[in-house]
Structure 1
Amino acid sequence: MVDFRETDFFSDGEIAQDLPSYLASLRSACPVMQEKFQNVFMVTGYDEAVEVYNQQGEVFSSAVAVTGPLPPLPFTPNGDVAAQLAEHRHEMPWTDHLATFDGTHHTQHRALLQALLTHKRLKANEDYVGGLVIRLVDGLIDRGGCEITKDFAHALSTLVIADLLGVPEEDRPALLEAMGPDPTQLGGDEGFKVGADPLLHLHARFLGYLTERLDNPRDDMLTDLVQAKFKDGGDPGLHVKAQLACFLFGAGQDTSARLVAFAFRTLGDMPEVQAKLRSEPHRIPEFIEEVLRTQPPVKTMSRLAIRDGVVGGVDIPAGSIVTVCSGGANRDPRRFADPDTFDYDRPGVRDHIAFSRGSHGCIGAPLARMEVRVALEQFLSRTSDIRIAEAQHGPADARRYAYEPTYMLHGLQALHVEWDKT
């Protein structure tokens, strides 16, 4: 087990390789504990995490949601932290994107996107997902196995969100290339894309799509977005709408790809669970929820205290950064009985906080759940057994997995699986 007192969560990639043990150690000492390297208050308890999310906007700002303490704040907190943040926000990474917005600014822009994610559009996207999964599986099934993250999950999640938005089919392969590998985050500026708009490499492309929709509207989400207005009738403008499209595209493909990989790892590592799920495929949604609880794709969400607050009885001074560790909260034994056991029959199987909570809850959660469900339905119906490839990951009693060395995102670097066709 990692000695949490002597390890910097935000710079030591080894923690990612033994994350549940690290978070359990932290939580057993105190579910709200200030670590000594970055002076961040680490929240690993379930009730305490919900406390943080319930105080968003009032006590805690989302300005550092993505980056946490790295890079450091562009100001030294002193006095009116809310005023200091307002003055310096433009200097902070990701400040142009929805995840870091606060208050009315966040409410307006989130509502703009939320209004576009209609049941009708998601249903039409599900029809596309079904056909896409069949095509992807057709290309893989006779191989008897693959590296699931590269050969299936990344392509699935990227093409699904591209279809939902209305990206022309001929442009989708280029978008797969444009996304590239995920940043490591570790190492501050060197390891993580920083700046007000880290998705700038996508901005011109989506701005072009929106501009084209002005003259040639279509039945797609990009057309709806370019025509959308705030509830008060105001129009945020094309550049802001392009940023929203970039954010939805980037976030939409990222979380889903990680979730797909963890779902397959669970099936391969737990043959008894796989057999049970094959006998009751209608329970795939509950299975996905338990995957989310035990292996949340987003490892942390951070908040900046803009005024003095209290979480779990611990005083949080204004200017402090609080980091909610979803993997710790989701395995809190005070909330989940036998938390390290995978059990999709457990009561409250959807009570996890893998998709955050409150005003900043993941806007794309229904999409992620849907595409993973469709993928599992197809794979389970076309195979009789899915296994972890021992040549790459070792035998069942001595598995070897490598995790992405990040402090925000939780994902496998690779997952090699094998299967028997039906």
Structure 2
Amino acid sequence: MTSADVQTSKSTVLDDWDINNSAIVNSDNPQEIYKEYAYLRRQCPVAHVDKHNGYWILTKYEDVKEVASNNEKYISYECAIVPADPRGIRRPPLKFDGEQHKPYRRAVDRTMKPARIKRLEPIIREHCERELQVLIDRGHGDIYEDFAAKWTSWVEKEWLNLDDADSAILVESFSPFVTAWRMGNQWDVVKKWSDAWYGIAKRVVASRKEHPLDPEVDPASSLLLETDRNGNPLEEEHIIGCIRQIVIIAMVAPTIVVTAIAKHLSEDRELQTKLRNDRSLLPAAIEEFIRLYVPYRGFSRTAVKPETLHDTTIPPKEPITVVYSAANRDPEHFPDPDRFILNRENINTHLGFGKGIHRCAGVGLARMMMRIFLDTILDRCDYWEVDGEVVYARLPEVGPTSCPLKFHRART
């Protein structure tokens, strides 16, 4: 179904609804976006958008799962995210497929084993406690800008084994980079900080070539150890690109999810109290939070050959957005999808970490981060509340990117 077909369908959103001018494409308002996802699932589960050089939107759980999982039919090499980087840069592992992808994923996975994550836990907890305490002592602060953006940068520092100077660059650059990217018209700012991250990656690779670290605990050393299917070392350009790719993805998603969780709990004092009093509930709560607040609506694949879904044929090389934020709210798979339900029977099927070969490599680290954050804020506050305007992300993400909170200290 094309955008014209969508416009001629009877709409339950707005009488003159046009997908090209819709909240899904243009807005940062999650409630409007989720409402339009629900409309598309009912009326047009395979929809075409003319903007951003044209792309398709999938909103049903089974469709998103199939396209994200079937790596024979759908690839990420042509376009991995909408809107696409206008420079056409292809960095592994996200924009590599098949045999090309495997050594990069092996190298990253090697550094994400449970034993490594367990060793990182006390260090990451220390960073969390320090950064969060600044806001709590002050009594207020933006949980995204003043805490989560900084904390996730420190987590990256520990995982990549960066020195203090490069760690400071990460902390400084994260917010201006993602803000400029989302605006879509500040490519000079995007390039400035992207180049700075390339500089970090180049320095790390040069250092590890001279002084390798244990590949079980260091991504750059792990990448330098890998070979392609012909037994040749990976190209240094791609190793640098892989580290550069990892930097941004590993900071954007956790920052939004942490902020969304904090906002949700500020509005559900009963759940906040329940989790504070029984920490055994945290793992189940974290999965439901991730289902509800998966922050991506722009990850994409392209078909290798024409593929038909719901009687609509999608041609090759046209981006297909696998909208995890829509799939996770599909009522056919998750009943009462917009409500937080602790211990959902099928919660382990959520697509909050993606699906297929490009599924998030840092699943264990992300879950640990959410648990550390919740432990810390629940221990140190009686409660917290929204204290100002909440700002939300534009495409390709969905979720809060600014959330001022007022903190009420835990009684001692």
Report TM bin, short chain: 0.7 to 0.9
Match of residue 94, structure 1, among 76, 89, 92: 89
Would you say 1:408 and 2:406 are equivalent positions? no
Q: Could you say which residue in structure 1 is the equivalent of 2:378?
A: 380
| Distance (Å, rounded) in 2 between the aligned partners of 1:252 and 1:128 | 17
Tell me the CA shift for residue 202 of structure 1.
1.3
TM-score by length of 1: 0.84
Any conservation in 1 of the 2:27–2:33 contact (CA below 8 Å)?
no
Three-state SS of the structure 2 residue aligned to 1:300 is coil
Any conservation in 2 of the 1:68–1:301 contact (CA below 8 Å)?
no
Tell me the CA shift for residue 334 of structure 1.
0.4
Q: Could you say which residue in structure 2 is the equivalent of 1:337?
A: 335
Match of residue 245, structure 1, among 237, 243, 246: 243
Tell me the CA shift for residue 192 of structure 1.
9.3
Task: Give the AA of the match of 2:314.
Answer: I
Q: Could you say which residue in structure 1 is the equivalent of 2:36?
A: 22
Task: Give the AA of the match of 1:297.
Answer: P
Q: Could you say which residue in structure 1 is the equivalent of 2:266?
A: 268
Task: Give the AA of the match of 2:264.
Answer: T
1:5-404 superposed matches below 5 A: 5=19, 7=21, 12-13=26-27, 18-35=32-49, 37=51, 39-68=54-83, 93-181=88-176, 182-183=178-179, 185=181, 199-218=194-213, 220-222=217-219, 224-225=221-222, 227-230=224-227, 232=229, 233-389=231-387, 392-393=388-389, 401-404=390-393
Pick closer, same or farther for the CA change 1:421–1:186 going to 2, 3 Å: closer
Paired-residue identity, %: 23
Tell me the CA shift for residue 186 of structure 1.
5.7
Any conservation in 1 of the 2:266–2:384 contact (CA below 8 Å)?
yes
Any conservation in 1 of the 2:220–2:243 contact (CA below 8 Å)?
no
Any conservation in 1 of the 2:181–2:190 contact (CA below 8 Å)?
no
Q: Deviations over 1:329-359 (max 9, x none)?
A: 1111100111111112211223211221011
| Distance (Å, rounded) in 2 between the aligned partners of 1:105 and 1:129 | 32
| Distance (Å, rounded) in 1 between the aligned partners of 2:101 and 2:23 | 29
Three-state SS of the structure 2 residue aligned to 1:41 is strand
CA RMSD of aligned residues (A): 2.7
Three-state SS of the structure 2 residue aligned to 1:199 is helix
Tell me the CA shift for residue 183 of structure 1.
4.0
| Distance (Å, rounded) in 2 between the aligned partners of 1:13 and 1:70 | 20
| Distance (Å, rounded) in 2 between the aligned partners of 1:198 and 1:272 | 42
| Distance (Å, rounded) in 2 between the aligned partners of 1:138 and 1:185 | 30
Aligned length: 391
Tell me the CA shift for residue 149 of structure 1.
0.6
Pick closer, same or farther for the CA change 1:47–1:184 going to 2, 3 Å: farther
Q: Deviations over 1:213-251 (max 9, x none)?
A: 233344551563364222754211433222222222221
Tell me the CA shift for residue 156 of structure 1.
0.8
| Distance (Å, rounded) in 1 between the aligned partners of 2:43 and 2:195 | 41
Tell me the CA shift for residue 109 of structure 1.
1.7
Q: Deviations over 1:88-127 (max 9, x none)?
A: xxxx623123211122111222122212222222112112
| Distance (Å, rounded) in 1 between the aligned partners of 2:273 and 2:267 | 12
Q: Deviations over 1:174-195 (max 9, x none)?
A: 3211334214556756569889
Pick closer, same or farther for the CA change 1:198–1:323 going to 2, 3 Å: farther
Pick closer, same or farther for the CA change 1:33–1:137 going to 2, 3 Å: closer
Tell me the CA shift for residue 150 of structure 1.
1.3
Any conservation in 2 of the 1:69–1:321 contact (CA below 8 Å)?
no
| Distance (Å, rounded) in 1 between the aligned partners of 2:101 and 2:107 | 10
| Distance (Å, rounded) in 2 between the aligned partners of 1:23 and 1:191 | 29
331-340 or 236-245: bigger deviation: 236-245
Any conservation in 1 of the 2:141–2:406 contact (CA below 8 Å)?
yes
| Distance (Å, rounded) in 1 between the aligned partners of 2:355 and 2:73 | 15
> Where does structure 2 lack aligned partners over 5 or more consecutive residues?
1-12
Pick closer, same or farther for the CA change 1:278–1:140 going to 2, 3 Å: same
Any conservation in 2 of the 1:226–1:241 contact (CA below 8 Å)?
yes
Tell me the CA shift for residue 14 of structure 1.
5.3
| Distance (Å, rounded) in 1 between the aligned partners of 2:253 and 2:363 | 9
| Distance (Å, rounded) in 2 between the aligned partners of 1:285 and 1:210 | 36
Three-state SS of the structure 2 residue aligned to 1:386 is strand
Any conservation in 2 of the 1:66–1:94 contact (CA below 8 Å)?
no
> Where does structure 1 lack aligned partners over 5 or more consecutive residues?
72-91, 394-400
Pick closer, same or farther for the CA change 1:107–1:201 going to 2, 3 Å: same
| Distance (Å, rounded) in 2 between the aligned partners of 1:286 and 1:192 | 42
Pick closer, same or farther for the CA change 1:356–1:171 going to 2, 3 Å: same
Pick closer, same or farther for the CA change 1:186–1:239 going to 2, 3 Å: closer
Any conservation in 2 of the 1:67–1:93 contact (CA below 8 Å)?
no
| Distance (Å, rounded) in 1 between the aligned partners of 2:75 and 2:351 | 18
Pick closer, same or farther for the CA change 1:141–1:300 going to 2, 3 Å: same
Any conservation in 2 of the 1:226–1:238 contact (CA below 8 Å)?
no
Any conservation in 1 of the 2:24–2:33 contact (CA below 8 Å)?
no
Tell me the CA shift for residue 6 of structure 1.
5.4
| Distance (Å, rounded) in 1 between the aligned partners of 2:311 and 2:84 | 23
